[in-house]
């Protein structure tokens, strides 16, 4: 994996000779680190930080980190990513990328890769995410999502989201008989975002179509419906 990042760095260095680059960083505080309907912080608050570098031609690389709680030795999740995003003259946009999920301190190596394609047009976003080896289980996963953002009044935005998790990982171990579910699940959220100076405040209701996705131990990997509050700001101001 290291060779991929060395190659990516070389490509960006070469492209930077003809394209001005820009650094940015986003700091986020949230009441619960939710990932596709499942709490990654045992329903406790999380502090998250990203560092991004983008070029005028749409190439970008970045790193993101958050505290997590899965009931084990791990306490941090780190993501490394690279991609290419661009917008066409007709208003459509595309984003192609790759993410490496890392869990330092985990006594069970669960680091994994995921690839994504995002499409956008006038507030509508469609996403497809694919992992060929989710959590180093040897099983693949697919995630499909649709998002719609609509400005209600100045500085207030309505956020609608729906996502579907499926693939071999989620289907394993489930009874495939008539009337049974295969482990795939649907998650959704409805929220509003308020822009206040350099900050964005968001509150959303997060839900799933099944009461339990993983075997829960108290609040660990909890998937109960809940309200989540988030405050974020992007630097430089």
In this prediction, residue 59 carries a pLDDT of 98
**Is the pLDDT reported for residue 99 higher than 50?**
yes
Number of domains in the chain: 1
Residue 35 has pLDDT above 80, yes or no: yes
13: Cα separation from own chain's centroid? 27
Residue pair 79/98 in contact (Cβ under 8 Å)? The answer is no
Provide the pLDDT for residue 182.
76
* Among candidate residues 97, 149, 93, 148, the one with its CA nearest the CA of residue 121: 93
pLDDT for the residue 194: 98
Beta strand 92-102 with 185-196 is: unpaired
What pTM did the predictor assign?
A: 0.89
pLDDT, mean of residues 4-21: 51
Beta strands in 36-123 (DSSP E): 38-39, 46-55, 59-67, 76-87, 92-102, 112-121
- Two structure tokens written together for 164: 């579907």
Place 2 in a pLDDT band, splitting at 50, 70 and 90.
very low
CATH value at residue 223: 2.40.160.40
Distance separating alpha carbons of residues 73 and 64, to the nearest angstrom: 20
Q: Give the mean pLDDT of 200-217.
A: 85
- Domain of residue 218 covers 2-235
Q: What is the pLDDT of residue 65?
A: 98
| Lowest-confidence segment of 17-31, 60-74, 92-106, 166-180 by average pLDDT | 166-180
SS3 category, 11: helix
Does residue 41 carry a pLDDT above 60? yes
User: Bigger pLDDT: 43 or 218?
Assistant: 43
Residue 19 pLDDT class (50, 70, 90 cuts): low
177 vs 120: which has the higher pLDDT: 120
């Amino acid at each position: 994996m290291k060779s991929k990042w060395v190659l990516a760095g070389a490509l960006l260095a070469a492209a930077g000779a003809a394209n001005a680059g820009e650094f940015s960083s986003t700091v986020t505080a949230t009441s619960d680190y939710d990932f596709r309907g499942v709490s990654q912080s045992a329903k406790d608050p999380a502090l998250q930080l990203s560092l991004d570098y983008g070029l005028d031609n749409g190439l970008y690389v970045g790193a993101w980190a958050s505290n997590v709680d899965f009931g084990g030795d791990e306490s941090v999740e780190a993501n490394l990513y690279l991609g290419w995003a661009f917008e066409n003259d007709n208003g459509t946009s595309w984003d192609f990328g790759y993410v490496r999920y890392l869990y330092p301190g985990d006594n069970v190596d669960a680091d994994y890769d995921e690839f994504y394609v995002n499409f956008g047009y006038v507030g509508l976003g469609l996403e497809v995410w694919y992992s060929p080896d989710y959590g180093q289980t040897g099983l693949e996963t697919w995630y499909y999502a649709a998002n719609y953002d609509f400005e209600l009044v100045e500085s207030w935005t309505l956020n609608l989201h729906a996502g579907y998790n499926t693939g071999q990982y989620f289907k394993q171990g489930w009874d495939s008989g008539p009337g049974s579910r295969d482990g795939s699940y649907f998650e959704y959220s409805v929220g509003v975002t308020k822009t206040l100076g350099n900050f964005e405040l968001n509150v959303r209701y997060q839900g799933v179509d099944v009461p339990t996705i993983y075997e829960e131990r108290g609040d660990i990997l909890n998937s109960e419906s809940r309200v989540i509050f988030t405050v974020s700001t992007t630097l430089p101001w």
